[in-house]
Chain A
Amino acid sequence: MAKLIAEHICHEYGDSGILVDFTSADYEDRWQQAQALGNALRSSAEPGLVDVVSTYQNVFVSFNQLLASHKSIMDVIEKLIESKPAPRVATVFNIPIAYGQEYGPHLEFVAKACGLTPKQVIELHSGEDWTIRFIGSPVGAPFLDGPKIPASIPRLTTPLARMIPGSVALSGFQTIIYNAPSPGGWQVIGRTPVQLFDLKQNPPVPYHPGDRIRFKPISQREWDAWNKPFHEVRL
């Protein structure tokens, strides 16, 4: 539960931005405070507010300088910063994933970095729920914290120019899912056949920060059966 008075620092972040840095000792608290402030700002309808990016322990607010200022937005932040996170029941999403081989070309590397076998990495990665900390780019990518990875995974020395959509990749202790053919620097250990980002749906991704993802290993033969938009998938 977030503390009522959240310790934080506000930085000016360019001529039309503010970065809020939550500084309390507990990681879980910092994340909850950042998400609560992000939600409160998004629903505040404050004039001049352009966008809000809330992440692990930060909130980046951008504003239109003709309608707002650093001062006016900081005042709003101070007012909203004690908002309690809206109670929300987390949804658990089961996401099929084919690990290794052509689906996860960096599985061997990750296993080596962890001092594990590829099979152990798969068991670890699919053995517990991952929590969606925030949704970022590219295109609705969920940024996930989850099972304790034994070693911080370094990024690719040369980022890939084009990730195959559905790629599930690791960096540090985190996982993300690349929903789109963007460049990317994380180590790809598997791929999901399910299309999570779907413009025909509103919102186009089914998950929210705080929801959980459980990866369900599938074999290559099962790939086609799962290759469809998320809303058509029943797991």
Chain B
Amino acid sequence: MGCLEQAISRGKTLSTATIQVERAGYVVVQDLGRSGLAAIGISANGAGDQNSARLANTLVGNADGAALIEIIASELMLTAHSDLLIAITGAAKKVEINSISHNTHETLVVLSGSTVFIPAPKSGQRTYLAINGQIKAPAILGSVGPDSFLDFGQRLVSGMKLEIETQFNAGLMGSDFSLFRFNFPAPNYSSEIGLLATVGPDADRLKAGVAGLAGQFTVLPQSDHVGMRLSGVDLDLVVAGEILSRGVPIGAIEITPSGELIILLRGRLLTAGYPVVAVLTRSAIDQASQAIPGTKISLEVVSMEVARRELAQKEEALGKLSLRVAQAFSTRGWKQLLSPDHASFNS
């Protein structure tokens, strides 16, 4: 049962909130993408920085995979025509509500008539705006997210109105207008990043093995959600036979015949025939999706154990936060704002 049916069955006051887009750069309706569809040749896509998207939804009481807004290397200004409960995560450092600056990575109340401005980030490139409830948007194969191969996606443009089914309204707040303070650490993006990876099946195609990946690479401008192209280091390759096309993971670090490195991202084709020398960890894939052209990248190959621990820590942090959000909502008598699929119910 979706949030909508659940709310109706409980007889709660679900209403349609509206936002009007005033100014939008490259902004899309997004979610975690389409997974499990390899049998019909469909790529995963979805939010580039999955952890930030899940975090934003968690902060507003939504399910991890609820539709939200992804703002890519640009800004968004909108007017709320209804009361909203929102959270902003990812690259943006601040959000202005009626010209008053607020922290990102917190749960924020927006009153009807307010203007919300999310400035373009100075570092990092993907910002997520989650809104309590369900953004009304058409889906294909289980996802609202864009897929350029399917010619599908919803881009936000100025003048456009977006509707959200939500149970939130300022009346729920009573006289308590105090802000939430979850103080979840906001990530720092920088022009030099280190990405963790584990050894891939074709590491022996590098003369020096994965040690050959030492040094600094630069993200090239031809990078997109399909793959990130890197330049910088001359790789010494072993001459070896062709590799027959096979499935490739998101995060695969491939070497092209010309010795260039490509890191596959969420829009990648499902199969490829280039050697895979290493694979980014799940967290590193999120980090990579935030890297703008010109970013200096160093790769560190770690053991599977280190990769697992890194992921477990991220998951634990998200789980703990979800419990605090659920607790805070309950204390205010806002239990109905929590989706039955909110992360707190699995933590």
Residues of A within 8 A of B (CB): 11-17, 19, 21, 42, 50-60, 62, 65-66, 70, 134-141, 143, 172, 179-183, 199, 203-205
Contacts and interface: CB of A to CB of B under 8 A. Distances in A.
A96 to B, nearest CB: 21
Nearest to A163: B149
A180 B151 contact: yes
Given A50-B36, A143-B245, A205-B40, A137 B281 contact: no
Contacts of B248: 60
A-B residue pairs, 7 tightest by C-beta: A60-B247, A53-B247, A14-B279, A58-B246, A11-B201, A15-B307, A140-B41
Given A50-B35, A50-B36, A135-B41, A65 B150 contact: no
B245 A12 contact: no
Contacts of B186: none
Contacts of A143: 245, 271
A53 B271 contact: yes
26 contacts: A12-B304, A13-B201, A14-B200, A14-B280, A14-B281, A15-B282, A15-B307, A15-B308, A17-B279, A19-B201, A19-B247, A42-B39, A55-B244, A55-B246, A56-B244, A57-B246, A60-B247, A60-B248, A135-B40, A136-B38, A137-B42, A143-B245, A180-B149, A181-B151, A199-B140, A203-B39
Contact of B149 (A65, A66, A182): A182
B244 A136 contact: no
Contact of A182 (B37, B148, B247): B148
Nearest to B307: A15
B329 to A, nearest CB: 24
Nearest to A183: B226
A15 B271 CA distance: 18
B315 A66 contact: yes
Contacts of A134: 271
A52 B37 CA distance: 9
B246 A139 contact: no
B311 A65 contact: yes
Contacts of A19: 201, 246-247
